[in-house]
């Protein structure tokens, strides 16, 4: 039985898997079992923030694994305390953090925080949470219900009550009532199709929610940890959310989620927990990721690469008007909207044949989420191959 058969016979088939067999990587370059190189413009869906095969991250993980991987949250965990402090310092927010293991789980915790807030603050019990259409908040029952894509809700009800979907930011105001406790949004919708929110609209929303004592939860699972060029997208939008969730890029590939909140006493003893959350291995990895990215940002290299990447994508959008409508996105979260009669999936497939990895988002967007440490040479090679793929369409 070969590996593909093994996968198909024994792994539950929930993914439209490509049977490319990657075996190692170096920054933005992936190598398959035959030794062919691929340029990775997807970074494992915004996860491998410091690139593949990063020596510093690997050394930190190995060092930690040789000492302690896990002791449980019943005892002091040095890298967890240090990571919580770094997240507060780097973000510039006066927050405490709870550590989880994934994006969905971080959002679950954020929703629990909001529900508790609605129970203990104010005269009437508030429980309603407004989210946006085309949002994505994860796959657990509650995070899925928070996700404003009805098609994803098939089969899995009954769901927890209290989630309503706004068409856009302006529509949120119409949905607010006495029972509303929180609004949860992505500042740049990722899975929904690389859709940035308007800065002014978001600022106005943040102000209005504050004045009504409604919590603003920002799902930064994809936008967080320098993906937009700033530590958090909330920094870029110049807002101070009540709760921010993180996951994807934080551990550089090691599973970790985090919930940052300015409401430092919102959950008390025993009101939330996680066996694995914040263990030695994941928090040590995240500390190293933050150190690497902070240096990368400070040196100017990150901003330089962002500009180059954007320029290159804009040129491609202009050069192939039959395929693309426009270029969209922020920082290293970018996309090309394909024209009505074209399929984003076809572009992604053609790119893979030319050995450049790009992703699909929403219905009609080719998505680019490069590793944040991508070099100019890697970019050039990737775009050269991408253009070759386009001319084959
Ligand atoms: C990926 C993603 C999630 C879900 O994260 P998991 O780690 O897969 O649970 C939630 N929210 C956003 C914005 C995401 O991009």
The rounded Å distance from CA 35 to ligand 1 centre is 31
**Which is nearest to 331 in space by CA: 287, 372, 382, 291?**
372
pTM (predicted TM-score): 0.98
Beta bridge mates, 361: 365
The CB of 224 under 6 Å from ligand 1? The reply is no
Write the pLDDT tens digit of every residue in 213-223. 999 999 999 99
Two tokens, residue 229: 């060029």
CA of 293 to the centre of ligand 1 (A): 21
| Span 246-276, pLDDT tens digits | 999 999 999 999 999 999 999 999 999 999 9
Closest CA to 154 of 162, 163, 145, 164: 145
What's the whole-number mean pLDDT along residues 148-160?
95
Pick from 233, 248, 332 the residue to mutate for probing ligand 1's pocket: most ligand atoms within 8 Å of its CB.
248
Residues in the chain: 393
Report the separation in Å between the CA atom of 167 and the middle of ligand 1, taken as the mean of its atom positions. Answer: 20
Report which protein residue has its CA nearest ligand 1's atom 10.
137
The domains of the chain, with CATH numbers, are 58-267+276-297 (3.40.640.10)
Mean pLDDT of 79-92: 98
CA distance 32 to 40: 12
Q: Whose CA is nearest to atom 6 of ligand 1?
A: 103
Distances (CA, A) of 290 to 21, 98, 250, 285, 391: 29, 17, 8, 9, 39
pLDDT for 122 beyond 90:
no
For residue 118, what pLDDT is reported?
98
Cβ neighbors of 294 (< 8 A, separation 6 or more) are 90
Q: Is the CB of 230 under 6 A from ligand 1?
A: no
Positive or negative, the Cα torsion across 368, 221, 217, 207? negative
Q: Comparing C-alpha atoms, which of 338, 245, 249, 280 is closest to residue 71?
A: 280
Q: Which of 46, 100, 103 to mutate to test the pocket of ligand 1 (most atoms within 8 A of CB)?
A: 103
Would the pLDDT of 341 be above 90? no
* CA–centroid distance for 347 within its chain: 23
Secondary element (H or E) of residue 329: strand 324-330
Q: Which atom of ligand 1 is nearest to the CA of 143?
A: 10
């Amino acid at each position: 039985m070969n590996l593909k058969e093994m996968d198909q016979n024994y792994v539950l088939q929930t993914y439209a898997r490509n049977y490319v067999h990657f075996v190692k990587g170096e920054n933005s370059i992936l190598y398959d079992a035959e030794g062919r190189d691929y340029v990775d413009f997807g970074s494992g869906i915004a996860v491998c923030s410091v690139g593949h095969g990063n020596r510093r991250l690997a050394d930190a993980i190995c060092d930690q694994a040789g000492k302690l991987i896990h002791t449980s949250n019943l005892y002091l965990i040095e890298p967890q305390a240090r990571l919580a402090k770094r997240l507060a310092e780097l973000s510039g927010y006066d927050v405490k953090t709870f550590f989880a293991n994934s994006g969905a789980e971080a959002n679950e915790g954020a929703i629990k925080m909001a529900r508790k807030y609605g129970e203990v603050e104010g005269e009437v019990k508030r429980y309603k949470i407004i989210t946006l259409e085309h949002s994505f908040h994860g796959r657990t029952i509650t995070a899925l219900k928070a996700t404003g894509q009805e098609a994803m809700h098939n089969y899995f009800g009954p769901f927890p009550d209290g989630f309503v979907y706004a068409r856009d930011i302006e529509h949120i105001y119409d949905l607010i009532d006495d029972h509303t406790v929180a609004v949860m949004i992505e500042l740049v919708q990722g899975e929904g199709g690389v859709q940035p929110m308007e800065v002014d609209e978001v600022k106005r929303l943040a102000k209005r929610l504050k004045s009504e004592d409604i919590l603003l939860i920002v799902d930064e699972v994809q936008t967080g940890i320098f993906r937009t060029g700033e530590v958090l997208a909330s920094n870029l939008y110049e807002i101070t959310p009540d709760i921010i969730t993180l996951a994807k890029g934080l551990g550089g590939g090691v599973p970790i989620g985090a919930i940052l909140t300015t409401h430092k006493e919102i959950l008390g003893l025993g009101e939330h927990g996680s066996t694995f959350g914040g263990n030695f291995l994941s928090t040590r990895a995240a500390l190293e990721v933050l150190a690497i990215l902070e240096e990368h940002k400070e040196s100017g290299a990150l901003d330089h690469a962002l500009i180059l990447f954007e320029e290159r994508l804009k040129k491609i959008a202009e050069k192939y008007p039959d395929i693309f409508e426009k270029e969209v996105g922020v920082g290293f979260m970018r996309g090309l909207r394909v024209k009505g009669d074209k399929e984003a999936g076809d572009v992604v497939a053609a790119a893979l044949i030319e050995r450049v990895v790009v992703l699909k988002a929403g219905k009609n967007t080719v998505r680019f989420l490069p590793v944040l440490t991508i070099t100019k040479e890697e970019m050039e090679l990737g775009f050269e191959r991408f253009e070759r793929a386009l001319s084959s369409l």
